[in-house]
Amino acid sequence: MNSMLRLLAVVAAFGGLASGVAAASERPTVFSYKTIECKLLQGDRCGADKAMVVEGDDSPPEPDPSPLSYRIGLPAIEFEFNSHRLTARAVEQLDEVARALELKTLRHYSFAVQGHTDSVGGRDYNRRLSVKRAGSVKRTLVSAGIAEHRLVDVGMGEDYPLPDMSPDDGRNRRVEIVRLGSTDKGRTSSASPNVRRKALLIGIGAYRNVGRLIGPVSDAKAMRAFVTGVLGYDARDVKMLLDAEATRSAILGAMDEWLIGGTGPGDEVFIYFSGHGWQQLDTNGDEPDRYDETLVPVDVAVRANNTVDGMITDDEIGAMLARLDGRRINVVVDSCHAGTSDKMMVVGDHWRYIKSPRRSDGGPLKLRTPDANREVVRDSEPDTFVSTKDPKFRTADITVWAAVEAHQKALVDEEVRAPMSVFTRRLLAGARDAMADADADGTVTRAELYRYVLRESEAYCGRHPERCADGLTPQIHGASNAMDAPAFMPVAMATPSSPLAVKDILVGPVPTAGAQAGGGVQVRIEQGTRLEIGTAVDIVVTSPRDGELVLLDVSPTGEMMQLFPNEYSLRDKVPTRIEAGEPKKVPGSGDRTFRIRISPPAGPGTLVAVVSHGDSTRIEKLTTAHKDLAVIERPKAYLVELAEVLRADADSPPHLSVASVVYETVSAP
């Protein structure tokens, strides 16, 4: 083979992976943000010559019976040869995409970023490269200001060519943006237009006179993205105090003027603090241990005897909160509330990751000695920064989240490259990213979120025992009868529409919280919905139409697994076919090839039945790839591809039906 033929052979081997750059005369169009908005809101109903939707009109479109119908292919998103590196033209197109996704009409939705190749080259290689390319697009959009939790990057490989196009056609090399469900757990501004909402977010790392911290400013900025992007606060109603801005007078002044003066009864208030926390002598006798818990502002002073002045006590914060009577208040405190830092184990510079103050050189600070003869109130609550049961809060709806118990020390997370606090990172993962949504209904309750951050904090401590001498035990204090309420928002304003909710991706956006998408499919567990660990169960599914059955399980910890088909059912050729009107039992009666048993941990789980009504060729490839009964590492990507498989295999909608049942796993008595 001469050199030219060898060169052609190399190009052919990587053809499916090439840059996708067309000839200069055929350069693909860079779509404007308005065209992108129209396609993602109206799908095929958006014509090239059709007037765009009116910007600012955020009323939802009519629901489409087919999921993943609202999409746009972006041929201008090109890559360098055999690479996932974006071209300048691709970056120009992604600027328009980012602008579109931030419009009022789209900013409450999540989206899939799908990477596709043609069939030239190896199938596995094409799949891996498509994953990298989708990831590059997602990272670029995140860097442009799109919240990461709104984007799911999915590599589709060569398996989804454009309609009526040969699989090896270079035009199949493309990136598509696909609209999924809503990230909005309930927009107060829509449900209650007269409610004012104010947030005060404080992050202090660059302390003047005590040891600096890394992470709190990142914490506060991430919290701002959460309250504006997920909770729906207007950016103009969020006040940030970062580092040098967060003096004692500025913090108390902002609470007085911004929160108390800027809201009234019936309004909502969100307060967040990330920084040092400590203790000082109790001044009014309401603390059994004779110490008040404190927040440490940036300008605290260290005296000659190594004691600290200028902190803000829990009593001062409590007095401010009492003046917010009639409001609904969320307080999140990510700081230590521990005793003397001399108890702290210090290894090298690790004191910089512990959120109670030390001297700038790492040396210990001291607490003043309390008066042992002073009378204290014995029925007060020493385990919380602000007691929500205090009589002065009887007219306020207040929930307080705290990183640790009063005797513990909060930590900065050393496991991530971008520094954040252990507690804030997990609180946001649970609430913002719906990782705490154990029943996959799209609503993260207070109980779900608390269980999630507690479990994840304890796991972190298990990995770093040298910095967790007293443990990490997050706290929530509020109405005991409201633990099933949605975290951070009223029950009446919550909508079950999380990007992690199975129905939300498979069925597409539903117009109301009460909408169901079962399509007549019914699923039940023969042994009931309260199941002891170790119990063997049988699952019965009935469908009004013929189809292929897939069973998914979402565990109490939020992990997802493909329950059926599995390696045992495939080995023994157990049919996945379900006949119209005929109940299908899994594992099945008679001689069973496998059994399904309830495993730890205890808590609520969700069983989901998906019945597809199209060609089973592609779905067999996907389900076979996940037959191992292992936790699906990227569940959102799996769900997007499952929906895409079913959409591509069906001649016409509805191409699938989805039903679910919530069960509770309990420990044996």
Same domain, 469 and 345: yes
The whole-number pLDDT of residue 639 equals 87
User: Which residue has 């190009």 as its token pair?
Assistant: 11
* pLDDT > 70? residue 49: no
Q: How many CB atoms lie within 10 A of CB 585?
A: 13
Cα distance between residue 88 and residue 76, in whole Å: 10
Residue 498 lies in a domain: no
* pLDDT > 60? residue 24: no
* pLDDT > 50? residue 471: yes
Q: Could you tell me what percent of the chain has a pLDDT over 90?
A: 24
Cα distance between residue 547 and residue 657, in whole Å: 9
Same domain, 301 and 392: yes
To which H or E segment does residue 302 belong? strand 301-302
Give the three-class secondary structure for 36.
helix
The whole-number pLDDT of residue 84 equals 78
Beta-ladder partners of 242? 203
Q: How confident is the model at residue 293 (pLDDT cuts 50, 70, 90)?
A: confident
636-659 pLDDT, tens digit per residue, is 888 888 888 777 655 555 567 788
Report which of residues 126 and 505 the model is more confident about. Answer: 126
320-358 pLDDT, tens digit per residue, is 888 888 888 999 999 886 543 333 344 445 555 677 677
- Are the C-beta atoms of residues 79 and 90 closer than 8 Å to each other? yes
- Are the C-beta atoms of residues 538 and 526 closer than 8 Å to each other? yes
Same domain, 31 and 85: yes
* pLDDT > 50? residue 605: yes
Q: Tokens for 456, please give them.
A: 């994840």
- Region 161-178: mean pLDDT is 84
Same domain, 155 and 268: no
Same domain, 455 and 552: no
Residue 417 lies in a domain: yes
Q: Of 120, 154, 182, which residue is a domain's last?
A: 182
The whole-number pLDDT of residue 382 equals 44
- Region 4-26: mean pLDDT is 38
What's this model's pTM, rounded to 2 decimal places?
Answer: 0.51
Cα distance between residue 461 and residue 405, in whole Å: 14
Q: Are strands 536-537 and 560-564 parallel, antiparallel or unpaired?
A: unpaired
Q: What is the mean pLDDT of the chain?
A: 77
Count structural domains, the chain: 3
Q: Are strands 397-402 and 475-477 parallel, antiparallel or unpaired?
A: antiparallel
Report which of residues 596 and 485 the model is more confident about. Answer: 596
The whole-number pLDDT of residue 368 equals 64
* pLDDT > 60? residue 503: no
Instruction: Return the ∠ at Cα 376 (arms to 288 and 383), rounded to 5°.
Output: 25
End-to-end CA distance of the chain: 75
Q: Of 182, 214, 243, which residue is a domain's last?
A: 182
Give the three-class secondary structure for 414.
coil
Report which of residues 311 and 500 the model is more confident about. Answer: 311
- Region 222-251: mean pLDDT is 91
Same domain, 54 and 144: yes
Q: Could you tell me what percent of the chain has a pLDDT over 70?
A: 73
Residue 100 lies in a domain: yes
Q: What size, in residues, is the chain?
A: 669
Same domain, 172 and 283: no
- Region 11-36: mean pLDDT is 59
* pLDDT > 50? residue 190: no
Q: Where are the alpha helices (H) located in 409-501, listed in sequence order?
A: 422-431, 446-463
Exposed e or buried b per residue across 271-294, where buried means at least 16 C-beta atoms within 10 angstroms of its C-beta: bbbbbbbbbbbbeeebbeebbbbb
What CATH number does the domain containing 649 carry?
2.60.40.2550
Beta-ladder partners of 157? 116
What CATH number does the domain containing 391 carry?
3.40.50.1460
- Region 495-518: mean pLDDT is 44
Instruction: Return the ∠ at Cα 579 (arms to 577 and 580), rounded to 5°.
Output: 140
Report which of residues 293 and 202 the model is more confident about. Answer: 202
The domain containing residue 87 runs over which residues?
A: 3-182
Q: How confident is the model at residue 127 (pLDDT cuts 50, 70, 90)?
A: confident
What CATH number does the domain containing 104 carry?
3.30.1330.60
* pLDDT > 60? residue 217: yes
Same domain, 167 and 204: no
Residue 96 lies in a domain: yes
Q: Of 182, 208, 238, which residue is a domain's last?
A: 182
The whole-number pLDDT of residue 567 equals 92
Q: Rank 158-172, 300-314, 367-381 by mean pLDDT and report only the highest.
A: 300-314
Cα distance between residue 329 and residue 385, in whole Å: 15
The whole-number pLDDT of residue 220 equals 93
Residue 251 lies in a domain: yes
Residue 190 lies in a domain: no
Same domain, 178 and 202: no
* pLDDT > 90? residue 487: no
Same domain, 326 and 240: yes
561-582 pLDDT, tens digit per residue, is 999 999 999 888 889 999 999 9
* pLDDT > 50? residue 13: no
- Region 468-491: mean pLDDT is 73
Same domain, 98 and 127: yes
- Are the C-beta atoms of residues 451 and 445 closer than 8 Å to each other? no
Q: Please state the φ and ψ torsions of residue 593, each to the nearest 5 degrees.
A: -85, -20
Give the three-class secondary structure for 413.
strand
Residue 120 lies in a domain: yes
* pLDDT > 80? residue 105: yes
* pLDDT > 90? residue 36: yes
Cα distance between residue 301 and residue 145, in whole Å: 37
Same domain, 175 and 249: no
Report which of residues 395 and 292 the model is more confident about. Answer: 292
Cα distance between residue 181 and residue 636, in whole Å: 12
Residue 513 lies in a domain: no
